[in-house]
Amino acid sequence: MEVPTPFEQTALNSIILIAIGALIYAALLAKQVLREPIGSGKMVEVWAGIKEGANAYLKRQFKSILLLIGILAIILYASAALANAPFSISLGRAVAFLMGAFFSAMVGYLGMNMAVQGSIRTSNVAGKSFRDALRISYRSGTVTGMLTDGLGLLGGTLIFILFLKDSPEVLLGFGFGGTLLALFMRVGGGIYTKAADVGADLVGKVEKGIPEDDPRNAAVVADLVGDNVGDCAGMAADIFESYEVTMVSAMLLGLAITPFDYKWIVFPLLVRAIGVISTIVGTYCVSLWPESWTKGNAFKAMDFSYDLSSAISVASTFFLALYYAQDLRVFYAVAVGVLLAISFNKLADYFTSPHRKPVDEIAKSSNTGAAPLLLSGLALGFESTVWVLTVIAATIVASTIFFTGGGPIFAMYGVALAGIGMLTHTGNNVSMDTYGPIADNAGGIAEMAGAEEEKKRALAALDEAGNTTKAVTKAIAIASAVLAAISLFASYAESIGAGHTITLDIAEPIVFVGLLVGGALPFLFSSISIRAVGRTASKVIEEVREQFKIPGVMEGKVKPNYAKVVSIVTSAAQRELVGLALLGILTPIAVGLLLGEFALGAFLAGVILTGQLLAVFMANTGAAWDNAKKKIEDGYYGGKGSEQHKSAVIGDTVGDPLKDTAGPALNPMIKVINLVSLIFAPIIIKFRENILLTSLAALLLLIVLAIVIIRSKKEAF
């Protein structure tokens, strides 16, 4: 079948309209939120400073990576041209890369600004109406969710319409652009927010015994700015690239299925379009559920809506599979993916909610000091990793079983469809995640402005749910990274096998070395990012301590120099950006040149395995420590200011760079590495015969990587 059928052409046009509809819905929600009053007085003054700081940071970040993005666009053009691709494909890959990067940046920038607007309005109505506070905070986050849905679906579909059977080469550029920007924003925002958070908490809460977000603390504005640049902009870009890459991987494998049929590519796009519609219904209902159902629990309201969206998507996909694809196997694979996402909601809630036994046990362990609390949190993180991996493994097995007898490409296509199903409700996922920092910022604004206790209590309840929603979204993002990476891995295996099935023999020493190096890389990546947070946090602590010595600061008569701390964390975040990105981009190329394409395949397997395990462990451990601290602050096990509380703050600050910097940054890192390998595999194979050229190129890459590692250990101040 050389061209899509009339039905498929109509369907593709409808998908474009649905993607545009998602963007229109985002605009309407933004208009609704912006109509809400922001209040007046001290809260607005505090908010204005946060807004200014967040935008200044992102503008500086975009400027710092602009040159690298331009260079990579040229390299991507050359990568296709050197592999003898036609000019239109080579140019298309470079343009798609820029489009993916631009869309990812837009989602982060616009989503962050909408979150900033939502936080002040949430703070203004909190204490008056739980329903209104939830509606404003969640719909502010939904703007980001619908931007993710709309732009991701629009970009992938347009590329397919323009290039049809040649679209895989171009789609690689689109996915790589979104993934790379997500890596930049995740790493930079994560270092910024957690260095400020750790410094603010250790000096403010532990040493001085003052509340969180107290205006006397010089790091508090940087902390609140960090919530926006890390948790909003960073996570929005992260989920956007997951949305892109799962779609790209499904389309790549759909195009590889023989005999060729456009339905294998159009079907996942239609599933995504259905997901947009069901997401609109679900997200709009969050603030409409009866109080008797939600009982004032924001997470329950979101969970109900997620289940509603899931039911709509699963039912619609069944009819799509029955009447269009005429193959119920594709329905089963998508349904398993949706079930996987629902399972992560429940697992994350169980392991990170302060109302569940695991977090309560961590909080209780604070009675005997910080060490038992840390050990309890570590044990929880290790256990949760096993259950998450079990669910992911079961999903992969089930997806493969559905396509038994269809060959390895069909089996991997089933896994890719599970990834499509899991991120069908990306709008819900991003809405839930962005809700967290909006509620957190709203509480910080109220605290800094000295708002009434009723308002602060209402915002604390919203923030508590936010920790769980962020843990849910991180779990889904991590799992999507694994499923997308496995699908990309299958595409890589096909590319190096020239269309034939290949086997990676790990009994071969060189191949096994590739597996070992791949398994080690996530640890090195995490080490550099955590070290950056720790080093910068130490500088923040020193600065905050010095400012507390200024006469009048502790008494609240003199305003601390917030800008000084903002400058410290901004410089540190920018310093680490390019180095960590180079680690993800250059390492797979170096491994391929030195050890060969089969060892590179094993390298990818190692990265996927340990990257997923580490990411889940760090995300859940950090979230559990954070909510254990919040449970103690609610009056349990000693309450605020007690020795138990001080122990919990230590656990929280140790967990901060795990859950908000290193862990989430592993998601885009895994996909960057897989996409780079897939893009450059043909060149590696082509030039490995020239031993001198290959050796010189590999040596140059190793020198650059060594410089990155050495530089990461040096003081920046």
Between 361 and 234, name the one with better pLDDT.
361
Summarised one tens digit per residue, pLDDT across range 11-69 is 999 999 999 999 999 999 999 999 999 887 888 888 888 888 888 888 888 888 888 89
Reported as a pLDDT band with limits 50, 70 and 90, residue 483 is confident
Instruction: For the chain, give the percent of residues with pLDDT over 90.
Output: 18
For 294, the domain range is: 6-712
CA 665 to the chain's CA centroid:
7
Reported as a pLDDT band with limits 50, 70 and 90, residue 317 is very high
Summarised one tens digit per residue, pLDDT across range 567-599 is 888 887 777 777 888 888 899 999 988 888 888
**Any domain includes 176:** yes
Reported as a pLDDT band with limits 50, 70 and 90, residue 502 is low
Return d(Cα 648, Cα 372) in angstroms, integer: 10
Of the candidates 27, 264, 295, 65, the residue with the CA atom closest to the CA atom of residue 150:
27
Burial (CB count within 10 angstroms: exposed 0-12, middle 13-18, buried 19+), residue 258: exposed
Q: What is the pLDDT of residue 498?
A: 52
Summarised one tens digit per residue, pLDDT across range 382-394 is 998 898 888 888 8
Cβ neighbours of residue 336 closer than 8 Å, sequence gap 6 or more = 395, 398, 399, 402, 418, 421
Spell out the SS3 assignment of 575-629: HHHHHHHHHHHHHHHHHHHHHCHHHHHHHHHHHHHHHHHHHHHHHHHHHHHHHHH
Average pLDDT across the chain, whole number: 84
Number of domains comprising the chain: 1
Q: Which two tokens stand for residue 539?
A: 């500088």
Is the pLDDT at 126 greater than 70? The verdict is yes
Q: What is the DSSP letter of 324?
A: I
Type of residue numbered 378: L
Return d(Cα 438, Cα 231) in angstroms, integer: 9
Summarised one tens digit per residue, pLDDT across range 631-664 is 888 888 888 888 888 888 888 888 888 888 888 8
Return d(Cα 480, Cα 473) in angstroms, integer: 10
Burial (CB count within 10 angstroms: exposed 0-12, middle 13-18, buried 19+), residue 326: exposed
Q: What is the pLDDT of residue 513?
A: 93
* Total residues belonging to the chain: 717
CA 31 to the chain's CA centroid:
26
Return d(Cα 419, Cα 412) in angstroms, integer: 11
Give the other-Cβ count within 10 Å of 580's Cβ: 23
Q: What is the pLDDT of residue 467?
A: 67
**Any domain includes 1:** no
Return d(Cα 496, Cα 661) in angstroms, integer: 34
Summarised one tens digit per residue, pLDDT across range 375-384 is 999 999 999 8
Of the candidates 111, 153, 348, the residue with the CA atom closest to the CA atom of residue 246:
153
Q: What is the DSSP letter of 327?
A: -
CB 234 within 8 A of CB 108: yes
CA-to-CA separations, 333 to 10, 271, 315, in angstroms, rounded: 25, 12, 13
Type of residue numbered 64: S
Of the candidates 265, 395, 388, the residue with the CA atom closest to the CA atom of residue 332:
395
Summarised one tens digit per residue, pLDDT across range 542-564 is 888 988 888 888 887 888 888 88
Burial (CB count within 10 angstroms: exposed 0-12, middle 13-18, buried 19+), residue 491: buried
Return d(Cα 474, Cα 664) in angstroms, integer: 7
Q: What is the pLDDT of residue 321?
A: 94
Three-state DSSP state, 289: coil
Q: What is the pLDDT of residue 324?
A: 93
**Any domain includes 717:** no
**Any domain includes 610:** yes
Q: Give the pLDDT mean for 482-506.
A: 68
Q: What is the DSSP letter of 407?
A: -
**Any domain includes 255:** yes
Summarised one tens digit per residue, pLDDT across range 277-299 is 999 998 888 888 887 777 777 77
Three-state DSSP state, 648: helix
Return d(Cα 50, Cα 229) in angstroms, integer: 10
Question: Up-side HSE of residue 568: CA atoms within 13 Å toward CB?
Answer: 31
Q: What is the DSSP string of 118-139?
A: HHHHHHHHTTT-HHHHHHHHHH
Q: What is the pLDDT of residue 165?
A: 78
**Any domain includes 431:** yes
Return d(Cα 450, Cα 385) in angstroms, integer: 40
Of the candidates 222, 156, 161, the residue with the CA atom closest to the CA atom of residue 194:
222
Q: Kindly state the helix (H) or strand (E) to which residue 298 belongs, with its residue range.
A: helix 298-320
CA-to-CA separations, 534 to 476, 572, 577, 656, in angstroms, rounded: 27, 11, 16, 10
Query: Which ranges of 403-425 does DSSP label H, i.e. alpha helix?
Result: 408-422
Q: What is the CA radius of gyration of the chain?
A: 24
Q: What is the DSSP string of 421-437?
A: HHTTTHHHHHHHHHHHH
Type of residue numbered 31: K
Give the other-Cβ count within 10 Å of 13's Cβ: 12
Q: What is the DSSP string of 11-80?
A: HHHHHHHHHHHHHHHHHHHHHHHHHS----THHHHHHHHHHHHHHHHHHHHHHHHHHHHHHHHHHHHHHH
Q: Which two tokens stand for residue 615?
A: 């990411």
Return d(Cα 23, Cα 292) in angstroms, integer: 33
Whether the full predicted model's pTM is greater than 0.75, yes or no, is yes
Type of residue numbered 543: E
Reported as a pLDDT band with limits 50, 70 and 90, residue 333 is very high
Between 117 and 468, name the one with better pLDDT.
117
Indicate if the alpha-carbon torsion angle 184, 236, 153, 325 is positive or negative: positive
Is the pLDDT at 180 greater than 70? The verdict is yes
Of the candidates 149, 58, 60, the residue with the CA atom closest to the CA atom of residue 108:
58
**Any domain includes 92:** yes
Q: In b/e form, how buried is each residue of 61-73, taking b as 16+ CB within 10 angstroms?
A: bbebbeebbeebb
Our separate counts of H helices and E strands in the chain read: 22, 0
Return d(Cα 304, Cα 281) in angstroms, integer: 12
Angle of helix 42-82 versus helix 562-595 axis, rounded to 10: 20
**Any domain includes 55:** yes
Q: Which two tokens stand for residue 350?
A: 């169980």
Summarised one tens digit per residue, pLDDT across range 421-480 is 888 888 888 888 888 888 888 888 888 887 787 888 888 777 777 767 777 777 777 777
CB 463 within 8 A of CB 443: yes
Query: Which ranges of 83-234 does DSSP label H, i.e. alpha helix?
Result: 87-125, 130-163, 167-201, 220-226
Q: What is the DSSP string of 508-540?
A: SHHHHHHHHHHHHHHHHHHHHHHHHHHHHHHHH
Q: What is the pLDDT of residue 361?
A: 92
Q: What is the pLDDT of residue 281?
A: 92
Of the candidates 612, 264, 547, the residue with the CA atom closest to the CA atom of residue 412:
264
Return d(Cα 25, Cα 108) in angstroms, integer: 18
